[in-house]
């Protein structure tokens, strides 16, 4: 009788040990699966972040290029002498202004200053198009037209310098797109807001 009890106790202990071993294996499998899932999610997030940063970088440097060309062509337009030359120059300004608006809208920064900068670019686009149509009809630009272009050129130079400021921060590593998207570049936003007031955009 004692042998039966001993065997039964041993069997229960072995069964308990097996259950514990099975439970331990299940726990290890779950932990491994959780670690693998965490690594997968982390890698996907890093991949998404890299794709986003590459997209921001591409759009931003295209914006830099557009801002530079807008300023250059506005400077040329302000001293143009013939309708034919004006039409070509204004066509470049119109095209680059439209592209700049697209690239600006892709930036991970939303501030009143950038909204005003976008309004400014749209104004440059609309005004250059209207003058382009005038030049295509063979009409030379008036003194008032040239004065307005000079004013737009001054603002475009400001915008270009502000964008260069942000470019410098990014190239030097003092500002990352992740930081920009979360809180924006304070100095950049303030400078754009200061220079690009709605009342300054009226021609």
Task: Look at residue 32 and tell me if it is in a domain.
Answer: no
Q: Which pTM was predicted?
A: 0.68
Range of the structural domain that residue 195 is part of: 55-201
In a domain, 74, yes or no: yes
Percent of the chain with pLDDT over 70: 67
What domain count does the chain have? 1
Within a domain: 115: yes
In this structure, is residue 144 part of a structural domain?
Answer: yes
115: confidence class by pLDDT, cuts 50, 70, 90: confident
Is 107 within a domain? yes
pLDDT at 182: 56
Q: What percent of the chain has pLDDT over 90?
A: 22
Q: Is residue 133 part of a domain?
A: yes
The separation between the first and the last C-alpha atoms of the chain, rounded to the nearest angstrom, is 109
Asked if residue 30 belongs to a domain, the reply is no
Q: At 25, which helix (H) or strand (E)?
A: helix 2-77
Residue 95 lies in a domain: yes
Closest CA to 69 of 79, 81, 80, 61: 61
């Amino acid at each position: 009788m004692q042998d039966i009890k001993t065997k039964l106790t041993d069997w229960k202990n072995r069964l308990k040990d097996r259950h514990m071993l099975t439970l331990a294996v299940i726990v290890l499998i779950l932990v491994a699966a959780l670690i693998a899932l965490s690594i997968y999610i982390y890698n996907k997030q890093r991949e998404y972040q890299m794709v986003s940063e590459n997209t921001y970088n591409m759009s931003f440097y295209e914006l830099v290029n557009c801002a530079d060309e807008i300023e250059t062509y506005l400077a040329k337009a302000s001293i143009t002498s013939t309708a034919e030359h004006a039409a070509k120059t204004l066509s470049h300004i119109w095209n680059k202004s439209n592209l700049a608006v697209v690239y600006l809208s892709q930036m991970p920064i939303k501030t009143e200053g950038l909204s005003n900068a976008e309004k400014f670019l749209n104004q440059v686009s609309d005004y250059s198009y209207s003058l382009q149509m005038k030049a295509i009809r063979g009409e030379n630009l008036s003194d008032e037209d040239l004065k307005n272009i000079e004013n737009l050129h001054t603002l475009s130079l400001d915008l270009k310098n502000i964008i260069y400021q942000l470019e410098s921060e990014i190239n030097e590593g003092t500002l990352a797109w992740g930081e920009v998207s979360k809180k924006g570049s304070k100095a950049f936003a303030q400078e754009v807001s200061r220079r690009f007031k709605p009342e300054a955009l009226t021609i």
